[in-house]
């Protein structure tokens, strides 16, 4: 479970995130939806602890990210906005590197990688250098890297950006599979259809604030519209989420 | 600590697989100096041997005026080409490098010579052309010898002792030892050694910092439950490892090159065997973490691989500054200079090369100052890596 409580972050004169609070539960996919520049990445960076909030708190499975950073991070798998691989290492070496840095022993790591290879269908390219892999294969390796320590929580920042249709479809299937394992998944997107297709809970962000949150249905009901798109636009207001 | 070694292992392996980087770190960097050096010294050898052995060739105009001089020059093994060039034609011929040296005997030479009035000769040569200048020097020396022989005969004929015309006799004593002469040539070799040290880690320093950010793998790495000091420490350690490798390769290459270049023929003796190479390695070792920290710090501040490359090329020149300064002011090893990294390594290596005694305190100061500065840079790196702007 990921809990964000009244997160605030400013960069100089810009208030990037203001009082953002939400809860992402286990066994659910929570979508952070908002236009570009709304503060999604900044919020997620605070969630996975590479940015320190000016005020507010982040708890991962109840562990405070600021007080016990390493402990909290160990419960978290992260796929950042730019999830680049090491081109000169094989897919397996990329995964092993992160696994080893997570403190997993050699034997255990071999077993865990075998599991990931099977569940993500990576048999055909696991020993190939990352630089020759296709987009879809790369995203699988990046995901396996984020899941190598078997975290209960997974954060993904715009994971479908720059992916082709096939890769997006297989990513969706993987996220649904991870959800069915009871994990808590939090991901951001500026594409409504994507959120509509995947999420149980939606948090709509604009101008660094939470504008609406709840299940897809409750948001639609509240804005009295049929489609999420209309609800999204209505929530953002006439300025489209910008001042 | 375990994380540090994991990062080290991965960076070491990744660099090993990058052929382009490997070529520059372990071939170009360390071998550039020794090869250039070997080629240069061989060329110098060829030239000096060729110059003293080769018969002097000059063009002479109006030789019929001075048959005596002509005989003398020919008796000294000079090959004369007879011509009748005017002064302007001679100038043009020398300028266009068609002939190296022209001696012109003017029309009134014979008459003045017979009357024992100084007889003029014109020597046309281009002093900016090194071989031609040497030929001209040899011609000048031969003509001076001829002249003093004639002077002695004239004095004798008039009943005067020729010794009266030689009031002072200078005897030169050149105290340069063969090793000392070698050092003048080998002076810049120390820079190549330091260059190899830096080149060994250059690309790894860029790749593990600016490169990692540009590839987009940095943020995932920094979101792991690992102290950032361990991450950057592992990267630095890998950079140091390649720098040590490059240093070792460079020194080995120097030892090999020195075995094949017959420095003794230039009147030099080079004191560069395996023992000296080991001493060089020990002297340069404290410079390794300093160079690694400097390059990593600079590369950490840059936004992209290309930008880092631009800045780090200037970093390669940093160690030349104190060395250049030292050779301009011909500084000798002393304790206060041991506090300046790169200069201290240069002076210590030069002392070893000259077979001079090396003061242990100097070695300690050199190592201490380099390591101390490296430590300061490490603190700066650790601070920078903790900053949020690291994410880019």
Q: Which residues of A touch B223 (CB under 8 A)?
A: 48-50, 73, 76, 78, 80
Q: Which residues of A touch B215 (CB under 8 A)?
A: 84-87
Do residues B296 and B205 make contact, with C-beta atoms less than 8 angstroms apart?
A: yes
Q: How far is B254 from chain A (nearest CA, A)?
A: 32
Whether pLDDT at B331 is above 80? no
Residue that terminates a domain, selected from A95, A123, A150:
A150
Whether pLDDT at A243 is above 60? no
Q: How far is A229 from chain B (nearest CA, A)?
A: 31
B14, B151: one domain: no
Q: Which residues of A touch B14 (CB under 8 A)?
A: 86, 88-89
A199, A237: one domain: yes
A70, A134: one domain: no
B183, B310: one domain: yes
Whether pLDDT at B184 is above 80? no
Whether pLDDT at A153 is above 90? yes
User: How many distinct structural domains can be found in chain B?
Assistant: 2
pLDDT digits (tens, 9 = 90+) for A187-203: 999 888 888 888 999 99
A102, A60: one domain: no
Residue that terminates a domain, selected from B138, B171, B204:
B171
B126, B217: one domain: no
B215, B268: one domain: yes
Residue that terminates a domain, selected from B171, B202, B221:
B171
CATH number for the domain that contains residue B166 = 3.40.190
Nearest to A51 among B224, B225, B388 (CB): B388
Taking the C-alpha atoms of residue B139 and residue B124, their distance in angstroms, rounded to an integer, is 11
Our measurement of the distance from residue A171's CA atom to the centroid of its chain's CA atoms, rounded to an integer in Å, reads: 12
A27, A89: one domain: no
Question: What range does the domain containing A132 cover?
Answer: 83-150
A187, A168: one domain: yes
Residue B76 CA: distances (Å) to CA of A13, B69, B113, B230, B257: 89, 11, 21, 76, 38
pLDDT digits (tens, 9 = 90+) for B366-380: 999 999 999 999 999
Say if the Cβ atoms of A80 and B226 lie within 8 Å: no
Nearest to A78 among B216, B223, B391 (CB): B223
Whether pLDDT at B267 is above 70? no
CATH number for the domain that contains residue A193 = 3.40.50.300
pLDDT for B52: 61
B210, B308: one domain: yes
Q: Which residues of A touch B386 (CB under 8 A)?
A: none
A187, A123: one domain: no
B187, B42: one domain: yes
Taking the C-alpha atoms of residue B13 and residue A86, their distance in angstroms, rounded to an integer, is 11
Q: Which residues of B touch A51 (CB under 8 A)?
A: 388, 391
Whether pLDDT at A210 is above 60? yes
A161, A242: one domain: yes
Q: How far is A11 from chain B (nearest CA, A)?
A: 11
Whether pLDDT at B122 is above 80? yes
pLDDT digits (tens, 9 = 90+) for A213-226: 898 888 877 776 66
Q: B144: which 2 tokens?
A: 């001076």
Most confident of A113-122, B83-92, B168-177: A113-122
B71, B145: one domain: yes
Q: Which residues of B touch A97 (CB under 8 A)?
A: 6, 10
B189, B166: one domain: no
Residues in A lying within 8 Å of B, measured between beta carbons: 45, 48-52, 69-71, 73-74, 76, 78-89, 93, 97-98, 100-103, 142, 145-146
Residue that terminates a domain, selected from B122, B138, B171:
B171
Say if the Cβ atoms of A86 and B7 lie within 8 Å: no
Q: Which residues of A touch B305 (CB under 8 A)?
A: none
Say if the Cβ atoms of A78 and B215 lie within 8 Å: no
Q: Which residues of B touch A81 (CB under 8 A)?
A: 216, 219
- Angle subtended at Cα B386 by Cα B382 and Cα B227, rounded to the nearest 5 degrees: 80
pLDDT for A85: 94
Q: Residue A6: what are its φ and ψ, rounded to 5°? A: 50, 50
Taking the C-alpha atoms of residue A50 and residue A37, their distance in angstroms, rounded to an integer, is 18
Q: How confident is the model at residue B57 (pLDDT cuts 50, 70, 90)?
A: confident
Closest-CA residue of chain B to A71: B225
Ordered DSSP codes for chain A: -EEEEEEEEEETTEEEEEEEEEEE-TT-EEEEE--TTSSHHHHHHHHTTSS--SEEEEEETTEETTTTHHHHHHTEEEE-SS----TTSBHHHHHHHHHHHTT--HHHHHHHHHHHHHHTT-TTTTTSBGGG--HHHHHHHHHHHHHTT--SEEEEESTTTT--HHHHHHHHHHHHHHHHTT-EEEEEES-HHHHHHH-SEEEEEETTEEEEEEEHHHHHHHTT-SSHHHHHHHHHTTTTT--
Average pLDDT, chain B: 86
Q: How confident is the model at residue A105 (pLDDT cuts 50, 70, 90)?
A: very high
Question: What range does the domain containing B63 cover?
Answer: 55-171
Q: How far is B382 from chain A (nearest CA, A)?
A: 15
pLDDT digits (tens, 9 = 90+) for B358-369: 889 999 999 999
Calculate mean pLDDT across residues A38-46.
93
Contact pairs from chain A to chain B, CB under 8 Å:
75
User: How many distinct structural domains can be found in chain A?
Assistant: 2
Nearest to B223 among A48, A71, A84 (CB): A48
A134, A216: one domain: no
Taking the C-alpha atoms of residue B65 and residue B292, their distance in angstroms, rounded to an integer, is 72
Say if the Cβ atoms of A70 and B225 lie within 8 Å: yes
Say if the Cβ atoms of B223 and A82 lie within 8 Å: no
Q: How confident is the model at residue A234 (pLDDT cuts 50, 70, 90)?
A: confident
A193, A126: one domain: no
Q: How confident is the model at residue B269 (pLDDT cuts 50, 70, 90)?
A: low
Whether pLDDT at A108 is above 80? yes
pLDDT for A63: 95
Q: Which residues of A touch B4 (CB under 8 A)?
A: none
A201, A181: one domain: yes
A49, A165: one domain: yes
| Range 196-225 of B in CB contact (< 8 A) with A | 215-217, 219-225
B268, B302: one domain: yes
B190, B88: one domain: no
Say if the Cβ atoms of B14 and A89 lie within 8 Å: yes
Closest-CA residue of chain B to A143: B220
Question: SS3 for B227?
Answer: coil
**Which stretches does DSSP call E strand in B189-236?**
none
Calculate mean pLDDT across residues B176-194.
69
pLDDT digits (tens, 9 = 90+) for B126-154: 888 877 888 888 889 889 989 988 988 88
- Angle subtended at Cα B281 by Cα B280 and Cα B285, rounded to the nearest 5 degrees: 120
Say if the Cβ atoms of A83 and B14 lie within 8 Å: no
Whether pLDDT at B335 is above 60? yes
Say if the Cβ atoms of A82 and B219 lie within 8 Å: yes
A32, A51: one domain: yes
pTM for the whole thing? 0.80
Give the list of residues 6+ apart from residue B24 with CB closer than 8 angstroms, or none.
B199, B202, B203
B139, B198: one domain: no
Q: Which residues of B touch A50 (CB under 8 A)?
A: 219, 222-223, 388, 391
B160, B118: one domain: yes
Q: How confident is the model at residue A10 (pLDDT cuts 50, 70, 90)?
A: very high
Residue that terminates a domain, selected from A150, A174, A191:
A150
| Range 229-268 of B in CB contact (< 8 A) with A | none
Q: Which residues of A touch B227 (CB under 8 A)?
A: 70
Q: A79: which 2 tokens?
A: 């796929």
Nearest to B222 among A50, A85, A88 (CB): A50
């Amino acid at each position: 479970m990921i809990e964000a409580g009244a997160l605030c972050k400013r960069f100089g004169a810009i208030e990037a995130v203001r009082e953002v609070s939400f809860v992402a539960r286990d066994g659910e996919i929570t979508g952070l939806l908002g236009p570009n520049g709304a503060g999604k990445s900044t919020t997620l960076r605070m969630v996975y602890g590479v940015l320190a909030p000016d005020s507010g708190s982040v708890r991962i499975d109840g562990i405070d990210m600021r007080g016990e950073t390493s402990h909290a991070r160990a419960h978290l798998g992260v796929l950042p906005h730019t999830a680049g691989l090491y081109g000169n290492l094989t897919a397996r070496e990329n995964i092993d590197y992160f696994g080893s840095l997570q403190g997993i022993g050699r034997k255990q790591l071999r077993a865990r990688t075998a599991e990931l290879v099977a569940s993500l269908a990576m048999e055909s390219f696991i020993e190939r250098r990352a630089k020759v892999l296709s987009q879809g294969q790369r995203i699988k390796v990046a995901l396996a890297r984020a899941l190598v320590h078997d975290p209960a929580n997974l954060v993904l920042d715009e994971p479908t950006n720059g992916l082709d249709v096939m890769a997006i479809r297989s990513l969706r299937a993987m996220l649904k599979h991870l959800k069915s394992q009871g994990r808590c998944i939090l991901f951001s997107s500026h594409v409504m259809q994507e959120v509509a297709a995947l999420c149980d809970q939606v948090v709509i962000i604009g101008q660094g604030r939470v504008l609406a949150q709840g299940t897809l249905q409750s948001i639609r009901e509240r804005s009295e519209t049929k489609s999420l798109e209309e609800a999204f636009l209505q929530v953002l207001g006439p300025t489209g989420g910008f001042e | 600590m375990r994380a540090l070694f994991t990062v080290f292992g991965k960076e070491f392996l990744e660099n090993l697989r990058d052929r382009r980087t490997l070529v520059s770190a372990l071939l170009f960097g360390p071998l550039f100096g020794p090869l250039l050096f070997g080629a240069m010294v061989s060329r110098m050898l060829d030239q000096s041997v060729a110059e003293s052995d080769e018969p002097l060739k000059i063009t002479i105009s109006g030789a019929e005026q001075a048959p005596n001089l002509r005989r003398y020059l020919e008796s000294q093994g000079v090959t004369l080409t007879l011509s009748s060039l005017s002064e302007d034609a001679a100038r043009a011929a020398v300028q266009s490098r068609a002939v190296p040296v022209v001696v012109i005997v003017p029309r009134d030479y014979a008459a003045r010579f017979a009357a024992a009035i100084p007889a003029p000769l014109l020597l046309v040569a281009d002093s900016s052309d090194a071989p031609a200048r040497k030929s001209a020097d040899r011609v000048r020396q031969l003509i001076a010898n001829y002249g003093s022989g004639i002077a002695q005969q004239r004095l004798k004929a008039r009943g005067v002792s020729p010794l009266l015309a030689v009031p002072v006799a200078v005897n030169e004593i050149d105290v340069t030892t063969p090793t000392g002469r070698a050092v003048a040539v080998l002076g810049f070799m120390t820079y190549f050694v330091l260059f190899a040290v830096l080149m060994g880690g250059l690309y790894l320093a860029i790749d593990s910092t600016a490169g990692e950010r540009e590839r987009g793998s940095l943020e995932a790495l920094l979101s792991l439950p690992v102290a950032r000091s361990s991450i950057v420490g592992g990267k630095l350690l890998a950079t140091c490892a390649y720098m040590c490798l490059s240093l070792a390769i460079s020194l080995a290459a120097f030892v090999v090159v020195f075995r094949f270049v017959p420095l003794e023929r230039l009147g030099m003796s080079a004191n560069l065997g395996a023992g000296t190479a080991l001493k060089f390695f020990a002297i340069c070792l404290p410079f390794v973490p300093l160079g690694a920290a400097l390059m990593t710090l600079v590369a950490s501040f840059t936004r992209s691989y290309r930008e880092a490359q631009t800045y780090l090329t200037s970093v390669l020149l940093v160690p030349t500054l104190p060395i250049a300064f030292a050779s301009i002011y011909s500084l000798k090893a002393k304790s206060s200079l041991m506090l300046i990294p790169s200069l201290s390594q240069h002076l210590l290596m030069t002392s070893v090369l000259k077979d001079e005694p090396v003061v242990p305190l100097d070695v300690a100061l050199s190592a201490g100052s380099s390591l101390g500065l490296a430590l300061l840079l490490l603190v700066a790196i650790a601070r920078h890596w903790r900053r949020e702007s690291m994410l880019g």
